[in-house]
Structure 1
């Protein structure tokens, strides 16, 4: 049986954990870019996302590039239906952005880095 002190410690840790995962000041963005070989759109999307990340998320991102020709099974797992597609896995919520990522404002809004003021 848990003592009163153990229960209080668990509550404190739970509250600390909840705060850490919901209010991270500098979250790490886990990104996956799905491409189809080394075609023009794939290379352009890679160049664009690297530039956006270096400018807006320096030191705060991990980018994994997945060639669907090399790893076709991941397309089904991630439910990717067009390439290039950028998937933001963390921080939540998961987001997908399709295209060559040349519209920086759309990418920043899609990654929840900038507010959507385009109305």
Structure 2
């Protein structure tokens, strides 16, 4: 869902840095908010990321689902200076948490 304000990356396969969707401001060489699917391996690494594209911010990221506690999990961007500071790809950040729970709330329009 590329747009000038938000981008959602949600797939079960591997992915790479190429910005094939031409998301404004995204990189072709670093993981972030313009990543593209690499569907040849499915299921693969897995990616669920919501980005505030206009501000170059990750709202939430949950990747590498099959890794259990070693998954990539984060709210906001990774700290500056990390390899993939715009998202949490390859961070294994879930291993640093004692526990985590993802709750999704949906408001239905009537």
TM-score for the superposition, normalised by structure 1: 0.26
Structure having the higher strand fraction is 2
Bigger relative contact order, structure 1 or 2 (CA pairs below 8 A, ≥6 apart): 1
- Structure with higher Rg: it is 1
